[in-house]
Amino acid sequence: MFRNLLLALLVVFPLATYAQPINVALLSGAGDGAWDTEVQAKLTAFGGGDFSTIDIIRIDAGTPTLGTLQSYDAVLVYTDVGAADPTALGNVLADYVDAGGGVVMAVFTIGGITIAGRFLTDGYFCIFDLSQSQDVQLTLGTIHEPTSPLLHNVASFDGGTSSYHSAATDVEPGCTRVADWSDGHPLLATTTIGGTLRADLNFYPPSDDSRADFWDATTDGDQLMRNALLYTAGAVVPVELVSFNAVVNGTDVSLNWATASETNNAGFEVQVQNGEDWNVLGFVEGHGTTTEAQTYGYTVGDMAVGTHTFRLKQIDFDGAFEYSDELEVTVETPGTHLITRAYPNPFNPQSRFTLAVAQEQHVTAELYNTLGRRVAVLFNGTVEANQSQLVTIDGADLASGTYIVRLNGERFSDALRVTLLK
């Protein structure tokens, strides 16, 4: 009976990695300009590797043009006082999304002091209600999508004593509910509009560093804003590989991996190391662009006893690629010994097979014709435990016909049949 061996590398990539840096703008209608400076400072604190530019644009003073918005990869929109022209702002933000721009909506834009225009009428919101809820301290509640990039490095979130949020009880149609407040209202949501990623954050961006009742700055509100901006800017590496593991059954190795989301993913080359080189074993098609988790599998049969190193080469439709981390898999000898099939068989002039033993011992491999006469000694030596020994059958000086390979070790005897065709 074969022995089953489970080997797993639970996390191969970080949950989300990013192509950086990006340019962002804060489209603010905050009641105090100092609050914008605080939000800007929190995002800046992540370092220049995330954001090249973090500008503040006051939407209560006027509506930015599409050209202005397109100088940024993503924008974070929040209000306290109303926009100068809610309809014009909604129209230009919808145009910006249609052109591939990333928009992150936050309170009170998504509830209480909202915008209008196409952003509202054409369904660009993920979380929306005309009213707001407040004055009950809330925290991060149920997480529906634990592998979402919005939750990368997020351990906790406390909305503070006011916990301002939209009164919406569900996300809009076509949107993904990522996480909830502790009162069950949606906290984080995402969607894709015409290939452009969108996200809504159901909290007010300034923290209690600005005012005592805002979100607790010792928790991860800044991380949520960072993640959402990078995500909607399309700065997430095309495929989030969250697991890569192997199950060994005898000499068969089943490789399994999973993704949290994919962008432009043509598929995966499965590769195995051969000395300093990598051999391609096969290709598994990807799911293109999706925010849903996907699982994959590939089985490699008749692997030699010993340790093998595998990796995945993820390839985009445009030819760009990334390698996974390497996964080492050990194939052990089932029972007392293992002999693989001779290949090729029939053969001319050579065929090969591998031999492995569970315990180190002296082994002979001899070739006999059908009359029982020994015609060649193929191997005579010590085979180490769980190490593959390659044996070659050379038929250059032999006549066509059927031959028997007889193997004798200190703890086993076996045989296999081969055919030489000249």
At 110, which CATH number? 3.40.50.880
Say what the pTM is: 0.59
Residue 286 φ/ψ, nearest 5 degrees: -90, -170
Domain with residue 270: its CATH number is 2.60.40.10
Confidence of residue 238 (pLDDT cuts 50, 70, 90): low
| Judgement on whether residues 113 and 184 belong to the same structural domain of the protein | yes
Q: How far apart are CA 306 and CA 51, in angstroms?
A: 47
Cα of first residue to Cα of last residue in the chain, in angstroms, is 38
| Judgement on whether residues 323 and 342 belong to the same structural domain of the protein | no
| Judgement on whether residues 58 and 186 belong to the same structural domain of the protein | yes
Tell me what pLDDT residue 264 has: 73
| Judgement on whether residues 208 and 256 belong to the same structural domain of the protein | no
- The arithmetic mean of pLDDT across residues 230-234, rounded, is 90
| Final residue belonging to a domain, choices 284, 299, 331 | 331
| Final residue belonging to a domain, choices 188, 203, 232 | 232
| Judgement on whether residues 173 and 315 belong to the same structural domain of the protein | no
Tokens representing 398 are 């032999």
Confidence of residue 236 (pLDDT cuts 50, 70, 90): low
| Judgement on whether residues 302 and 407 belong to the same structural domain of the protein | no
Instruction: HSE, CB side, 13 Å, CA atoms: give it for residue 405.
Output: 27
| Judgement on whether residues 123 and 208 belong to the same structural domain of the protein | yes
| Judgement on whether residues 112 and 170 belong to the same structural domain of the protein | yes
Residues 6 or more apart whose CB falls under 8 angstroms from that of 151 comprise: 15, 143, 145, 178, 179, 188, 227
| Judgement on whether residues 66 and 109 belong to the same structural domain of the protein | yes
Least confident of 156-160, 241-245, 330-334: 330-334
Domain with residue 345: its CATH number is 2.60.40.2950
364-422 pLDDT, tens digit per residue, is 999 999 999 999 999 999 999 888 889 999 999 999 999 999 999 998 999 999 999 98
| Final residue belonging to a domain, choices 232, 260, 295 | 232
Residues 6 or more apart whose CB falls under 8 angstroms from that of 63 comprise: 83, 84, 85, 88, 89, 92
| Judgement on whether residues 347 and 202 belong to the same structural domain of the protein | no
Residues 6 or more apart whose CB falls under 8 angstroms from that of 98 comprise: 193, 194, 196
| Judgement on whether residues 355 and 302 belong to the same structural domain of the protein | no
- The arithmetic mean of pLDDT across residues 94-121, rounded, is 96
Domain that holds residue 380: 337-420
Ordered DSSP codes for 356-370? EESS-EEEEEEEEET
Q: Is the pLDDT assigned to residue 63 strictly greater than 90?
A: yes
298-340 pLDDT, tens digit per residue, is 999 888 888 899 999 998 876 778 889 899 998 887 778 888 8
Tell me what pLDDT residue 237 has: 56
* Helices first, then strands: H and E counts in the chain: 5, 25
Instruction: HSE, CB side, 13 Å, CA atoms: give it for residue 79.
Output: 23
Q: Is the pLDDT assigned to residue 57 strictly greater than 80?
A: yes
| Judgement on whether residues 406 and 262 belong to the same structural domain of the protein | no
| Domain tally, the chain | 3
Cα radius of gyration (the chain): 31
CA distances from 182 to 145, 221, 228, 252, 319 (A): 15, 15, 20, 47, 43
